[in-house]
Structure 1
Amino acid sequence: MARRAGVLTLLTGLGLLIGAGAASAHVTVNPGTATAGSYSKLTFRVPNESATASTVQVTVDFPTDHPFASVSVKKEPGWTATVTRSTLDTPVTQGNTTITEAVTSITWKADADGQISLGEFAEFDVSVGPVPDVESISFPAAQTYSDGTVVDWDEPTPASGEEPEHPAPTLTVVQADGDGDAGHSHGADTSTAPATDSTATVSAAAEHGDTDSAARVLAVIGIVVGAGGLLVGAIGIRRGRSAR
């Protein structure tokens, strides 16, 4: 009886672990960050969470308030991608470009070989740019299963940081290198002053090193010359004694 109870406890624990793993398998965008103004490849990773059905369709919505001027889709074997472009209600200006029409959604539909089964995931690559200069970009997604079930991944993460049940794939936008200290008036001074001091120190050290090296070379030459003189003197003395 004790052995059976132990087995049942183990199976129950494994079931809870498997359930927790399935619950945490969300549709995500990778990498989770991109640089403002850059052209980036975004990968939407879609795991299957159903034990009885396969994922047959995935739709990802793109922002219209901060649209991408350029969007291209990588061809995925076993899937057909349909790109929806729409005229924006209000044109958006980014830099020198005014966007009046943009990609608003992409739908990937699987054929018989492309369906995602339990324990599997698929990845869908999209090239976008320039990345809008905003804090973050949300990509609400809809995952359709072969039994007709649709799971919407569209819930924003609250300010508390607690993840909702169906979070929307979210891209965090970062500034280009060097822009992070732009708000500090002393940033440029503090970044260049140490470099100048370091350069001066390195130069002085190099000059000192050269002086030491030259002194060592001269010392070695003096030793060699001195040894040569002693050798010549010794030979002369020996010859003098032989002549006697």
Structure 2
Amino acid sequence: MRKLSRALGATTLAAGLVVAGATSASAHVTVTPSTTAAGAYALLTMSVPHGCEGSSTTTVSIQMPEQIIAVTPSVNPGWDVEKVMEDLPEPVEDGHGGEYTERVAEVVYTAKEPLLDGLRDAFELSLKLPEAEGETLAFPAVQECEEGETGWVQLPDDGQSADELEYPAPTIVLTGAEVEGEVPAEDEAADTEQAAAADGGATSTSDPGSSTSAVSWIALVLGAGGLVLGLLAFLRSRPQN
């Protein structure tokens, strides 16, 4: 929280938010969610694509939106991870009969060995998204390096595009909530095929292969009947002794 506060304060004092030793803006620290559905449980992947002007990354501090209460960071073998907690103004139900009295305000990853400028790494955070379709969630991040640091904390003003920012904060936009029990069309088709296989591979009467098989049997029966009639006619036509 202390690192982010320093970087966030810098944004209010200057338009450029790099504190000391700017990072190249050719690639940003980004967030990729497994889902953006409001109210869903999501896995957020935070990516760090480079260092600070050639300097290796030592720490990445990620601030959580105020709507997020609980966060479970994934273990990254090359980093130590710390959850920075903050007291809540009022307790919040946890959905299991208990209460939260504090929330995860920040997740800090500290490199066991500095991440070289030419390499990237990623951190995964498991959390529940708020029930707020259409809302934008920002995850400001401060990237500290052996020399210099960069705060990826800029947010666009009204009417401004995030593409215009030099050091944008990673953000996601919440979409419509997932409908319980709703099955995507492709999954429904797969389920239908699996059900048919479970029934012993039975096919429907509309199956072209079934129609062809039925016609073949009818033709065979008719052919046999014709052969019998022809044989009877031949026997009747023979001269009687």
Cα distance in 2 between the residues matched to 1:218 and 1:56: 77
* Structure 1 counterpart of 2:124: 125
Report the alpha carbon displacement of residue 44 of structure 1 after superposing the two structures with TM: 0.7
- CA offsets, 1:64-113, max 9 Å, x none? 2x123x3211111121001111111244568788643210001111122x
Q: Please report the TM-score for the alignment, with normalisation by the length of structure 1.
A: 0.64
User: Which one has the bigger helix percentage?
Assistant: 1
* Structure 2 counterpart of 1:46: 48
- CA offsets, 1:36-60, max 9 Å, x none? 2221111110122434310000000
Cα distance in 2 between the residues matched to 1:51 and 1:153: 15
Residues 1:231 and 2:235 aligned together: no
Contact 1:60–1:106, Cα closer than 8 Å, also in 2: yes
Q: Please report the TM-score for the alignment, with normalisation by the length of structure 2.
A: 0.65
* Structure 1 counterpart of 2:109: 108
Cα distance in 1 between the residues matched to 2:92 and 2:115: 37
Query: Which structure 1 residue ranges, 5 or more long, are not aligned?
Result: 1-21, 180-205
* Structure 1 counterpart of 2:161: 161
Contact 1:74–1:125, Cα closer than 8 Å, also in 2: yes
- The alignment yields a C-alpha RMSD, in angstroms, of 3.3
Report the alpha carbon displacement of residue 223 of structure 1 after superposing the two structures with TM: 5.2
Larger Rg: 1
* Structure 1 counterpart of 2:172: 171
Cα distance in 2 between the residues matched to 1:167 and 1:32: 21
Cα distance in 2 between the residues matched to 1:157 and 1:94: 33
* Structure 1 counterpart of 2:58: 56
Report the alpha carbon displacement of residue 219 of structure 1 after superposing the two structures with TM: 6.1
* Structure 1 counterpart of 2:3: none
Percent of residue pairs bearing the same amino acid type = 28
Query: Which structure 2 residue ranges, 5 or more long, are not aligned?
Result: 1-23, 181-204
